[in-house]
Amino acid sequence: MSSELKNDRLIRALLRQSVDMTPVWIMRQAGRYLPEYRATREKAGDFITLCKTPELACEVTLQPLARFALDAAILFSDILTIPDAMGLGLSIVEKQGPQFARPVRSKADIEKLTVPDPETDLRYVMDAVRLIRRELDGSVPLIGFAGSPWTIATYMVEGRSSKEFSLAKGMLYEEPANLHRLLALLAKSITEYLNAQIAAGVQVVMIFDSWGGALAQSSYREFSLDYMQQIIDGLDRDADGNKIPSILFTKGGGLWLDAIATAGSDAIGLDWTMDIGAARRQLKDGVAIQGNLDTAVLYSNPEVIRNEVAKVLASYGAGSGHIFNLGHGIHPGINPDNVAVLVDAVHELSQPYHQ
Amino acid sequence: MSSELKNDRLIRALLRQSVDMTPVWIMRQAGRYLPEYRATREKAGDFITLCKTPELACEVTLQPLARFALDAAILFSDILTIPDAMGLGLSIVEKQGPQFARPVRSKADIEKLTVPDPETDLRYVMDAVRLIRRELDGSVPLIGFAGSPWTIATYMVEGRSSKEFSLAKGMLYEEPANLHRLLALLAKSITEYLNAQIAAGVQVVMIFDSWGGALAQSSYREFSLDYMQQIIDGLDRDADGNKIPSILFTKGGGLWLDAIATAGSDAIGLDWTMDIGAARRQLKDGVAIQGNLDTAVLYSNPEVIRNEVAKVLASYGAGSGHIFNLGHGIHPGINPDNVAVLVDAVHELSQPYHQ
């Protein structure tokens, strides 16, 4: 598959094969910081319609690629498409974020849930993937994604965004068997969902474990990592028999890198709280690393951005296996011109590390 | 000083001297989860008046001690008393948290600031300390506290709570000299503030670096830890010439424990994302450790709470140097009866580790 790509830097770096320069993409690169995204979002009327309309999802997926020399596209979607397809009644409330009309609180609630069929219940996602692949025409690879079972479960149990996870963690400590049942169902649903994305054409998959870092050290493996490993173990090859590289990102997971590396992903996403060179040494080059510029650097100016990009590149050092990214998603208030500076700086300043 | 205390477990554990059982207190133990706190808060009218009225601050400080066999009292106050005393115009907006009418954004804003005089500008805090000490009558030690320079600076620059710290980090990356000037002023102010608390009678001091964990690895030492070290270096002894033990807590600082240990505090606070036994081994018993039960355990039931307390105690293992606490402040929705279970479990189950 990667041989058909005009730019296969991302795939090569994920597989730790040599590249001419370090590939770069930006988490949430199709998002509110772009005026053209806000215009399409306006046209859609609301966020959920934007996600569910393949033509519009395709449009916003491609927008950042028209501006910046990015080495990947990432499917525009949301981690809550799966519980929405399970019938929980997703809505996005202004300034409050996602809410579910029917949260999952009891054993009976969990027993009622079934694994969605991706090609029917989530067909709009697969249609978007097919459309984006056609529009990309092999220019760069398309990344598909899903939330982690634990991360999706927090929203399903809480019914909304949370900082304290009182209900989800209450279930973890008091009714762990219920939570395990929910997580197992989600792991199966996510595996089928990602495999449908692969069949539809995504060339890389990423799992976002946004709230894994909120777990206690003693709970992380049991309630988050093990289920992500199940998903990675269950990933299909593409139609040509090629392995689809995977990226696993637990925000706030810096203390657990060694454990994360055992889950079998090709790359580990790193937030900005850890030195990427130290992470590389700790992981003994056994896995590629994606990250990890502090997103807030993009609030500064081109000179500072170039300096901070140079520091991350120097910390990683020579050789392949580095996918440049921010340590977290880009914020809505950032000036898009600064993203251009970042992308160009990565390409220019990384070349000496690949000679 | 500690010889005058009827219960000096906390002081002894902080100094890694032998104890009969592990001391325990709870971050935000005087808080909204207690109905009697909510009643006093109602009587005060608002949070700031509660902080600024020594009799009421004393009342809520003592409330949890009447319910639970805690080994310490902690001054009821707020980390934003210092910028309030600097004239930034603090208010607490319902459901949004603290806001400053006059945030600090420019070099000119910073140059206008001066170090508050604790005994005049913050006299209500010192009066509360004196009153609480009198009421405690030596039953348990009183902990004084302050926010870290970086943590307080984020509120002063943003003008409110933040998740992204776009303005504070923007200053860090683009105008670091301005931020250093602000942090130096805060370090001086906090040192004088804590020394005034010591003169007024606090027997332990704690520095809350609530947002240190949001910094990039490359920034933490320069913009947070170094200034906390200045404060610790500048702490006075008490009137009898005794050293006042100090606790330094960077939430999310688990990756930086070795660096934190160099700042000279007697104890390091640990959140729930790290195994306390692993932290003890890493720190080679060179410092006491406070923590680190996942706060969310208190949403469960007595049996689970006792089991989870037992796990933390077993992980720390035999010997002194452990102050039991949560990994973060207690949440408003927690049942106070579960706190009683926790405190009693710590005392009962820790005794075998101190024989």
DSSP for B23-69 reads: -B--TT-SSTTSHHHHHHHHHHSSHHHHHH-HHHHHHHHHHHHHHS-
Residue among B28, B174, B217, B328 with most chain A CBs within 10 A, to mutate: B217
Question: Smallest Cβ distance to A174: which of B165, B272, B301?
Answer: B301
* Span B327-343, average pLDDT: 97
- What was the pLDDT predicted at B259? 97
Q: Decide if pLDDT at B242 tops 60.
A: yes
Closest CB to A166 among B164, B254, B299 = B299
A33, A37, A155, A227: the catalytic one is A155
Size of interface A-B (CB pairs under 8 A): 97
Tell me the pLDDT band of A94, cut-offs 50, 70 and 90.
confident
pLDDT, residue B57, reads 98
Q: What percent of chain B has pLDDT over 70?
A: 99
What CA–CA distance (Å, rounded) separates B7 from B141? 7
CB count in 10 Å sphere of residue B103:
17
CATH code of B2-354, in short, is 3.20.20.210
Q: Distance (Å) from the C-alpha of residue B304 to the closest C-alpha of chain A?
A: 7
Residues A302-323 pLDDT 10s: 999 999 999 999 999 999 999 9
Report CB contact under 8 Å: B300, A173.
yes
Mean per-residue pLDDT over chain B, rounded: 96
Say if residue B1's pLDDT is above 80: no
User: How many beta carbons lie within 10 A of that of residue B49, not counting itself?
Assistant: 12
Task: Name the pTM for this structure.
Answer: 0.96
Confidence of residue B95 (pLDDT cuts 50, 70, 90): confident
Across A57-77, average pLDDT: 98
- Under 8 Å between Cβ of A187 and A149: yes
**pLDDT tier, A96 (very low <50, low <70, confident <90, very high otherwise):** confident
d(C-alpha B232, C-alpha B247), whole Å = 9
Confidence of residue B96 (pLDDT cuts 50, 70, 90): confident
Those residues of chain B whose CB sits closer than 8 Å to some CB in chain A are 164-167, 169-170, 172-174, 213, 215-219, 252, 254-255, 272-275, 278, 294-297, 299-301, 304, 308, 311, 327, 331, 333
Q: Is the pLDDT of residue B2 over 60?
A: no
Tell me whether residues B173 and A274 touch, CB distance under 8 A.
no
CB-nearest to A299 from B170, B304, B333 is B170
Identify from A28, A96, A166 which residue to disrupt to test chain B contact, counting B C-beta atoms within 10 A and taking the largest count. Answer: A166
The alpha carbon of residue A296 is apart from the nearest alpha carbon of chain B, in Å, by 6
Nearest residue of B to residue A218, measured between CA atoms: B275
What is the mean predicted confidence (pLDDT) over A111-139?
Answer: 98
> CA of B309 to nearest chain A CA: how many angstroms apart?
12
* ipTM summary value: 0.93
**pLDDT tens digits, one per residue of A161-205:** 998 999 999 999 999 999 999 999 999 999 999 999 999 999 999
Site from A222, A273, A311 to mutate, B interface, most B CB atoms within 10 angstroms? A273
pLDDT of residue B137 exceeding 50: yes
Pairing of strands A97-100, A90-93: antiparallel
Contact A273 B308 (CB under 8 A): no
Whose tokens are 């949370």? That residue is: A162
Check A217 against B275: CB less than 8 A apart.
yes
Q: Of A94-98, A141-145, A263-267, B137-141, where does mean pLDDT reach its minimum?
A: A94-98
CA distance B121 to chain A (A): 34
Nearest CA to CA, how far is A119 from chain B (Å)? Answer: 37
B164:A331 CB<8 A: yes
Contact between chains at A301 and B174 (C-beta distance less than 8 A): yes
Q: Which residues of B are catalytic?
A: 28, 32, 41, 78, 155
pLDDT score, position B94: 81
Residue A302 distance to chain B (closest CA, Å): 10
Residue B4: pLDDT band with limits 50, 70, 90: confident
Q: Do A255 and B255 touch (CB under 8 A)?
A: yes
Angle between the A226-233 and A176-200 helix axes, to the nearest 10 degrees?
A: 30
| A250-B249-B144 Cα angle (round to 5) | 150
Average pLDDT rounded to a whole number, residues B91-105: 92
Asked if pLDDT for residue A1 goes beyond 60, the answer is no
Q: Given A166, A327, A331, which is nearest B331 (Cβ)?
A: A166
Contacts of A295 in chain B (CB under 8 A): 164
How many Å apart are CA B114 and CA B83, to the nearest integer?
10
In which band, very low, low, confident or very high, does the pLDDT at A2 lie, cut at 50, 70 and 90?
very low
* Cβ contact, residue pair B255, A274, below 8 Å: yes
- pLDDT at res. A267: 98
Rounded Cα distance between A301 and A298, Å, is 7
Using CA atoms, how far apart are residues A336 and A299, in angstroms rounded to an integer? 10
The answer on pLDDT for B299 being more than 90 is: yes
Nearest CA in chain B to A168: B296
